[in-house]
Amino acid sequence: MSKRVEVEEYVEEALPENWMPKVLVLGAVIGAVTGLLGAYLLVQRSKNGGTEPRLNAGEGVRLGVLLLGLLRQIQLLGHDE
């Protein structure tokens, strides 16, 4: 009995030379807009409550964990396991 082995060939598509700066600029713009929106929401919450904008330690930790989770999900985009 002979075993038949199939080999898949992966053809790598050539990436344009200038893809990295474009991705970094796009990420910076998205991050800046997202940060501005978050600050705006924090200010609006403070205006509605009549207090200064403030985050307590628990909110800061929750926000940090959420951001780390978001970055992890971004890292896994397009990664097939």
Is residue 49 predicted with pLDDT exceeding 70? yes
Q: Do the domain assignments include residue 24?
A: yes
Q: Do the domain assignments include residue 61?
A: no
Cα separation, 9 vs 37, in Å, equals 45
Cα separation, 9 vs 48, in Å, equals 60
Q: Do the domain assignments include residue 6?
A: no
Among residues 25, 38, 36, 23, the alpha carbon closest in space to that of 74 is found at 23
> Rounded to whole angstroms, what are the CA distances from 67 to 19, 41, 58?
25, 16, 14
Please give the share of the chain, as a percent, with pLDDT higher than 90.
57
Number of folded domains in the chain? 1
Find the mean pLDDT for residues 4-27.
79
Please give the share of the chain, as a percent, with pLDDT higher than 70.
86
Q: Do the domain assignments include residue 42?
A: yes
Q: Do the domain assignments include residue 29?
A: yes
Cα separation, 50 vs 44, in Å, equals 10
Q: What is the pTM of this model?
A: 0.64
Is residue 80 predicted with pLDDT exceeding 80? no
pLDDT at res. 16: 76
What is the span of the domain harbouring residue 46?
17-53
Is residue 48 predicted with pLDDT exceeding 80? yes
Q: Do the domain assignments include residue 5?
A: no
